[in-house]
Structure 1
């Protein structure tokens, strides 16, 4: 299930700025769409129909994670005598295995994301919240050049735990010749400590990434978010704190920080001599 948020240029055939929006644990594509309406408006205003590079406006992709969650899977849930009060529309990209650091269903979650990207004809960037921010980093990492070699190396070094490069992303790269993303934005993101996921983080992410951290976030503690920051190349990362908890800050001030970061990433030009075929600005 996928929900698209677009500007009125949908169907025009003109090039759009395509952004993948990944919701958090216990959310869904539609619920995340609803929670990010303010950011959507700022983006639509910035990337309007007269934008020279994206004359088709923006297209926001809001897929829903493939793993439905039971009430018992939801942190802090207290059973009620009234079944109608049980939470619904709650999904995850994976579930953490009891007593361990492995993620059950991670392959299924990544397959759903790869399918969304492929059906959209590719994306320019990704934005994620909480578990979705962890997944957003994974996506940016998987779409970098030579990441397959990092996974192959980890499978040799740690054959009992390391996961292989996801086949769904191999197909995605082959079919679309997908270049690395132009940007990634992580809201309340965190590092996955399981050794089997080391290839996502080693070598560090080169893609431009903005880490937005809530100074009062008690769900994802700061040290977990900072571990993700440290897994991004120093010259490619930025960090922004907001004075709140575990949510995507939708005030104009912090919305403009995100939009400004995207504009900066999209406006950057590499010297012609350094630009490879994979780095070219392809018309997805």
Structure 2
């Protein structure tokens, strides 16, 4: 699924292609100029730049910040993609990271949202891993049902210490429901870190999310990846 920024796509295409078979999916909701103006004061990020140049989002935020408008349409679209093939994990940035965590939790208990089922069965098994860069918790009654009290999918959370778009305290709310988490920080802002140490770290993590992989801030990660390839869906 399409990452919420161009540099996230470039990270996959330029750095991880040898070990990762990536699948990008655009969010279904196109943002109109009037929407951008209306949401300029909203506290939750939404727009990003997919391949077609149209700003899109997975959902809009209701004015009182208690509901994710359009979330159901996005879930139906994702259901139809997931039932077609098997993915090892999911990678998301910003609103895409919020969706990645939510989708990971939903695959653990798909019966909590019957429209997500296919002939009464889950469309896909739970992911082996989830990567959330600048992620946060979706605010919606369905998200509360799915994420509470916790979700179990192994999740890497990446926080930008100077991110002024997704604040660290927002990410910490998501951390509170992530039972099997690893947290890494970078000194930058609202972007996917792309220094060599980070590229190597992310490549190694995608291949072995349970492995003892050194932090990108504490030394380099081996440039020789484990054998095999993984297929994450990225958004």
Into which bin does the TM-score normalised by the smaller protein fall? 0.7 to 0.9
Per-residue CA deviation, residues 215-250 of structure 1 (Å, 9 max, x unaligned), is: 0100111110011111111xx200011111111112
Contact kept in structure 1, 2:93 and 2:192, CA below 8 Å: yes
Tell me what 1:23 maps to.
3
Structure 1 residue 142: Cα displacement: 1.3
| 2:37 is aligned with 1:68 | no
1:246–1:173 distance in 2 versus 1, CA, 3 Å: farther
Tell me what 1:167 maps to.
115
The alignment of Structure 1 onto Structure 2 pairs a total of residues equal to 201
Contact kept in structure 2, 1:39 and 1:250, CA below 8 Å: no
Match for residue 97 of structure 1 among 47, 58, 62: 62
The runs of 5 or more residues in structure 1 that have no matched partner are: 1-20, 48-57, 78-87, 152-164, 269-282
1:175–1:95 distance in 2 versus 1, CA, 3 Å: closer
Q: CA RMSD in A?
A: 2.7
1:22–1:230 distance in 2 versus 1, CA, 3 Å: farther
Per-residue CA deviation, residues 178-225 of structure 1 (Å, 9 max, x unaligned), is: 321110000100012344421221231111000011101001111100
Structure with the bigger RCO (C-alpha within 8 Å, sep 6+) is: 2
Runs of 4+ in 1 over 6 A off after TM superposition: none
**Which one has a larger percent helix, Structure 1 or Structure 2?**
1
User: Given the two structures, how large is their TM-score scaled by the length of structure 2?
Assistant: 0.75
**Partner Cα separation in structure 2 for residue 171 and residue 95 of structure 1:** 26
The runs of 5 or more residues in structure 2 that have no matched partner are: 42-52, 213-230
Larger radius of gyration: 1
Tell me what 2:189 maps to.
245
Tell me what 1:132 maps to.
96
Tell me what 1:43 maps to.
16
Tell me what 1:213 maps to.
159
